[in-house]
Amino acid sequence: MPERLAVGIDIGGTKIAAGVVDEDGRILARRRRSTPTTDSELVLTAIAELTEELRAEYPVKAVGIGAAGFIDESQSTVMFSPHLAWRNEPLRDRVARRTRLPVLVDNDANTSAWAEWRFGAAQNVPDVVTVTLGTGIGGAIVIDGQPYRGAHGMAGEFGHQQVVPDGQPCECGNRGCWEQYASGRVLTRRAAAEVEAGTPAGARLLELARLDDTALVDGTHVTRLAAAGDPTALEWIAEVGHWLGVGLANLAASIDPGLFVIGGGVSDADEMLLAPARAAHADQLVGRGFRSEARIVRAHLGPDAGLVGAADMARIRARRRRPANPAGRARVAARTSRSPRRRR
């Protein structure tokens, strides 16, 4: 049987990553564009052009798109995207018309979770929760080997569970949200304050930023400083890890997964982050000492997960919709299209 290939597209706030993915989750070819965040038509054009470029080299059968935002339950419409000019955007149908291929659209956290379940850290685990730590916190749920999207397609917005009553204000309008304590923005906020105050830690962070030819200090520089043994940076990451564990304990109380998979840029801190997260999770877990605990591991696929998962989802959907015997179906269609003969 010929190999079924699909295009996966991961749409972020700064870049659109596209690739051809095979049935084993391997990326055979890649393309990349900057994201035109203020013009939805330009985003659509970029998606279509990337698909056509890849399609010219490989016989792809479907297109999967992972996008940050709220996707409806039919996996066709982007109801709202915080980083893009999409409001009730019928993305699936518009891309399908441009590419003449079957298209699937899903939240990028869902596509990443699916990739980890199929090819990465969560293989052979039926019930999994993935948590993506970037500027904010995204998440997704796989239950009994199937993505769980909720009644309206919006499950997995873990970052906005409240962990500190009347805590830090959040962009969502509430206070004390989890992502204000356990995401990359925390490290960036701490780093910026140290630079502004002119502390020794701030000076070290600024030096790393200049080596990257940028004046902007962010969480990646904190992680690099911690990896070099800086005690201040290690303390900040451990604090983020602690709050990560608190939030995971809350999720365990409601979902009880067998595994938590931690991805996103902040997960580059690896055990500097995960060790305190495991400790806080164990300490805060309901029924601790009398129940099994979920394992907490780092994601395996890194930034490729969203692209790989979107392609795999689209390929599976397209395969399920294909007729079992296309030749036979074509013959039936040909017969039924003729005018019936009237008996005399």
Q: What is the pLDDT of residues 2-16, one digit of tens each?
A: 568 999 999 987 789
Look at residue 269 and tell me if it is in a domain.
Answer: yes
pLDDT, the chain, mean:
89
Mean pLDDT of 201-205: 92
Res. 140: pLDDT tops 90: yes
Cβ neighbours of residue 248 closer than 8 Å, sequence gap 6 or more: 129, 131, 260, 277, 280, 281, 294, 296
Mean pLDDT of 275-282: 97
Query: Does residue 92 sit in the same domain as residue 181?
Result: no
**CA of 215: how far to CAs of 144, 184, 185, 232, 248, in Å?**
46, 17, 17, 20, 34
Q: Please tell me the pTM assigned to this model.
A: 0.86
Q: Find, among 173, 145, 141, the residue nearest to 256 by Cα.
A: 141
Query: Does residue 140 sit in the same domain as residue 280?
Result: yes
Query: Does residue 59 sit in the same domain as residue 9?
Result: yes
**CA of 167: how far to CAs of 162, 164, 174, 180, 237, in Å?**
9, 5, 9, 9, 19
pLDDT confidence band for 335 (50 / 70 / 90): very low
Look at residue 101 and tell me if it is in a domain.
Answer: yes
Res. 343: pLDDT tops 90: no
The amino acid sitting at 79 is: M
Provide the residue count of the chain. 344
Query: Does residue 185 sit in the same domain as residue 278?
Result: yes
- Give the span between the Cα atoms of 74 and 325, in whole angstroms: 26
Look at residue 341 and tell me if it is in a domain.
Answer: no
**94: containing domain:** 5-113+303-328
Look at residue 339 and tell me if it is in a domain.
Answer: no
Q: Structural domain tally of the chain? A: 2
Mean pLDDT of 214-223: 89
Look at residue 34 and tell me if it is in a domain.
Answer: yes
What CATH number is given to the structural domain containing 83?
3.30.420.40
- Give the span between the Cα atoms of 70 and 152, in whole angstroms: 9
Res. 259: pLDDT tops 60: yes
Specify whether the CB–CB gap between 63 and 99 falls below 8 A: yes
Phi-psi region of 343 (alpha: psi -120 to 50; beta: other; left: phi over 0): beta
Count of beta carbons in the 10 Å neighbourhood of residue 225: 23
Query: Does residue 231 sit in the same domain as residue 287?
Result: yes
Query: Does residue 263 sit in the same domain as residue 310?
Result: no
Look at residue 324 and tell me if it is in a domain.
Answer: yes
Q: What is the pLDDT of residues 286-319, one digit of tens each?
A: 998 888 999 999 999 999 999 999 999 999 999 8
pLDDT at res. 334 = 38
Torsion sign over Cα 240, 244, 245, 249: positive
**CA of 158: how far to CAs of 31, 162, 180, 182, 224, in Å?**
31, 9, 12, 11, 27
Mean pLDDT of 107-128: 95
Q: Is 140 helix (H, G, I), strand (E, B) or coil?
A: strand
Q: Find, among 262, 321, 324, 326, the residue nearest to 75 by Cα.
A: 321
